[in-house]
Copies of this chain bind each other. A is one copy, B any other.
Amino acid sequence: MPIPKPVTRVRGSQTGSPIKALLDLLGRRWALGILWNLGEDPATFRDLQRRCGGISPSILNSRLKDLKDADMVGREEEGYTLTERGKELYAIVLPLGAWSASRSEEAFGHAKPGMRESVLEKAEALRRRRA
């Protein structure tokens, strides 16, 4: 099950080329958030729901379906988890965490205490894992 097939287009976006399909998938609300929250460790449905700040189950399920169709997440014993493809994607978007933290600090002058660290730790953790 490939990346969003060029056939399954969504409203308006004429999803022709791969990049458009991808941007389209990631452009759906919570898609990136789910990817992000599954990045470090698997999570159960309700767990994921909590991590995302109380996302409604209908949407969570719908998004999970999208991501499963795109072969980004799979379902294992421990719950939902990223596939190889999902992990690759996660690795790509990972820098967003550190970047947003530093940028936010610069912009609003107040990074949330602990947040920057936790984000950077995440990045660090993955880097170590991949080494």
Contact = CB atoms under 8 A, between A and B. Distances in A.
A43 B95 CA distance: 27
Contact of A18 (B19, B32, B101): B101
A19 B26 CA distance: 15
A97 B3 CA distance: 13
- Copies of this chain: 2
26 contacts: A3-B103, A3-B112, A4-B110, A4-B112, A6-B104, A6-B112, A12-B53, A12-B56, A13-B29, A13-B33, A14-B54, A16-B53, A18-B103, A18-B104, A18-B111, A18-B116, A19-B100, A23-B96, A26-B26, A27-B32, A85-B103, A88-B103, A89-B96, A89-B99, A92-B93, A93-B96
